[in-house]
Amino acid sequence: MIIDHARFEEVEIAPRAIDIMNATRSMGYTTESAIADIIDNSISANAKKISIYFPPSADIIKIIDDGDGMSSDELKNAMRYGCDLNYKREDSDLGRFGLGLKTASFSQCEVLTVISKKNGRTNSLRWDPTYIEKNGCGWIALSLQPEEIFKYSLDTKFDAQHSGTIVIWENLSLMLAGESDYSSALSLKMESVRNHIRLVFHRFLSGEDGLSKIEISFNDKVIQPIDPFLKSKSMQISDVQKILVPELGGNEVSVSIKRYLLPSVSKLSKTELNMLCGDSTLARTQGFYVYRNKRLLVWGTWFRLALKTNTSKLSRIQIDIPSSLDKLWSLDVKKSTAKPPEIIRKNLKSLIHYSQNTSKNTFIAKSKLELHSKINHFWERTISSDESINYQINKAHPLILEFSDKLSNDQRKVFERLLFDLEQFIPINQMFLDMEDEKTIGFASDEMECSIRQEIGEILDRDHSKTIIQILKTVEPFARYPELVEEILNQRGIL
């Protein structure tokens, strides 16, 4: 059906500026994602240094970069709500809808001011919704006087820069809503922001191949990157894989995939574990880590293609997508949620299966050592007729038998009762919770190894026959330290 628009009368219904500003405040930004959005703009403007200032005693945040800066017309365009989504951006551009500067800022503050310098010329604009509402005006931004510009750049290096931009958030009532102690709340909030930025921009902070290294500081303290794959200790379990995906225009672009296996918890320091999962756990943070133009978008999810299990918690997969696939990945304005298209999901399922199995095999290998059939263990694992699993002390263990034989009948009864009670009251649920929280259960501490070393020495001082050597190799606790047994036997020239 063809509609003849000439038959209709045109009626303009322009939205009120204040209504649009207020409506776009509630788009789900966190302080972390809002500041990350501003940093995106700085990186797209070729900034090498980005400084974030938040005086604890002041209701203000300043984000300063040494990027290209903006001319008067460019600043007006940057402060305009929205942009042409069909406009061809640079491949490395981290922007998306042309809303980030405004929506991110107004999700946290009441007044947004931007001061920008290009070719030595300084320009400024301010959005003040209170002024707009009070005066009943439309899309009217305010330009600052020179003395105001000087005030905002005071105590910064902006005046000495040939180019760059300052984004200023004032009246942080939205960011700190419900807080009674603003100063303390702001410091805690910014600590969370700091860790978020260290993770999201870690490839820029480390100066990964193909990227110009950038420096980001908070109150003049430079931050260090958080590598979510801990590449220095983890294993890349496959070569880089490429999946060709058709853009909406028909051209094919590649999505790059790398799979990593993290070290087991027992091999991680507290600092490394905190770097990998922060206040969360490895189990909750396993999954895909999706990057757009090397900037981390979404992480710690299998996109509902698989369950997160404790045995798969060591698996993490890096996915790199270009900005040309934004629409296919349903990237939102905050650049904090994305959903893989069906053509990608089909390939991801097989990747998940292999990665999770590789992680699971790490735990299986450990469990086999704990219950190896050729080792005489302290504990036995039994399965009852109702398929419930029980763990019992191995009463036939040589060390237990040796001790029991030295007891009187009455003492032996007490000892057997003690062993039974120990079996019944293993704090298995607490142990499970500790392992879920990635707490290392210290079965193999340095003190234990020293004790085993001393005990092996005492045994060999008494007897170093083939029978004794076989016991050391097949009986716990000695058999759990085969390298130590071999070392001591070699030192004594027994082998």
Q: How confident is the model at residue 97 (pLDDT cuts 50, 70, 90)?
A: very low
Residues 6+ away with beta carbon under 8 Å from 120: 162, 163
**Percentage of the chain exceeding pLDDT 70:** 90
Q: How confident is the model at residue 64 (pLDDT cuts 50, 70, 90)?
A: very high
Six-digit token pair at 305?
């293609």
Q: How confident is the model at residue 20 (pLDDT cuts 50, 70, 90)?
A: confident
Helix (H, G, I), strand (E, B) or coil at 157: coil
Cis peptide before 477 (omega within 30 of 0): yes
Alpha carbons 444 and 370: distance in angstroms, whole number: 12
Helix (H, G, I), strand (E, B) or coil at 171: coil
Of the listed ranges 32-36, 58-62, 122-126, the least confidently predicted one is 58-62
CB neighbour burial string for 70-107, b if at least 16 within 10 angstroms, e if fewer: beeeebeebbebeeeeeeebeebebbbbbbbbbbbbbb
Alpha carbons 340 and 356: distance in angstroms, whole number: 19
In sequence order, the β-bridge partners of residue 125 are: 114
Q: Which residue has the higher pLDDT, 56 or 45?
A: 45
pLDDT value, residue 96: 42
pLDDT value, residue 46: 95
List the beta strands (DSSP E) in 223-292.
Answer: 235-236, 241-246, 252-261, 287-292
The mean per-residue pLDDT over the stretch 462-477 comes to 83
Helix (H, G, I), strand (E, B) or coil at 480: helix
Residue in this structure with the two tokens 């951006």, named with its chain if needed: 89
Instruction: Return the CA Rg of the chain.
Output: 31
Are 88 and 96 a contacting pair, CB within 8 Å? no
Six-digit token pair at 171?
């009246």
Alpha carbons 175 and 34: distance in angstroms, whole number: 10
Are 203 and 294 a contacting pair, CB within 8 Å? yes
Are 106 and 24 a contacting pair, CB within 8 Å? yes
pLDDT digits (tens, 9 = 90+) for 298-344: 999 999 999 999 889 999 999 999 888 878 787 776 667 778 888 88
pLDDT digits (tens, 9 = 90+) for 335-390: 677 788 888 888 888 889 989 989 988 877 665 555 566 778 888 877 777 777 78
The answer to whether residue 444 scores a pLDDT higher than 60 is: no
Short-list 441, 120, 6, CA closest to 266 = 441
**Percentage of the chain exceeding pLDDT 90:** 40
Alpha carbons 100 and 35: distance in angstroms, whole number: 10
The answer to whether residue 134 scores a pLDDT higher than 60 is: yes
The answer to whether residue 136 scores a pLDDT higher than 90 is: no
Alpha carbons 335 and 296: distance in angstroms, whole number: 9
pLDDT value, residue 141: 93
pLDDT digits (tens, 9 = 90+) for 259-274: 999 998 878 888 999 9
Short-list 155, 182, 158, 205, CA closest to 39 = 205
Alpha-carbon dihedral 460, 465, 469, 470, rounded to 10 degrees: -150
Mean pLDDT of the chain: 85
Helix (H, G, I), strand (E, B) or coil at 357: helix
pTM score, whole prediction: 0.77
What size, in residues, is the chain? 495
